[in-house]
Amino acid sequence: MSAVTDTVRIAAPGNPIGRSIRDSLIVAKRNLIRMSRIPEMVIFGLIQPIMFVVLFTYVFGGSIQVGSSTSTQAYREFLMAGIFAQTVTFATAGAGAGIADDMHKGLIDRFRSLPMARGAVLTGRTIADLVQTSLTLVVLAVVALVVGWRTHENVGKVLAGFCLLLLLGYAFSWIGALIGLSVRTPEAATSGGLIWLFPLTFISNAFVDANQMPSFLRHIAEWNPFSATVQASRELFGNLPPGFQASDAWPMQHPVWASLIWSVVIILVFRTLAVRKYRRAAG
Backbone φ, ψ for residue 69 (5° rounding): -120, 145
The Cα–Cα gap between 107 and 175 comes to 20
The Cα–Cα gap between 236 and 155 comes to 10
Q: pTM for this one?
A: 0.86
Confidence of residue 166 (pLDDT cuts 50, 70, 90): very high
Backbone φ, ψ for residue 177 (5° rounding): -60, -40
Q: Mean pLDDT score of the chain, rounded to an integer?
A: 83
Confidence of residue 100 (pLDDT cuts 50, 70, 90): confident
Query: In the prediction, which pLDDT does 167 show?
Result: 96
Mean pLDDT of 94-123: 76
| Non-local CB neighbours of 167 within 8 Å, separated by 6+ positions | 259, 260, 263
Instruction: Give the residue, 112 or 184, on which the prediction is more confident.
Output: 184
Mean pLDDT of 9-35: 74
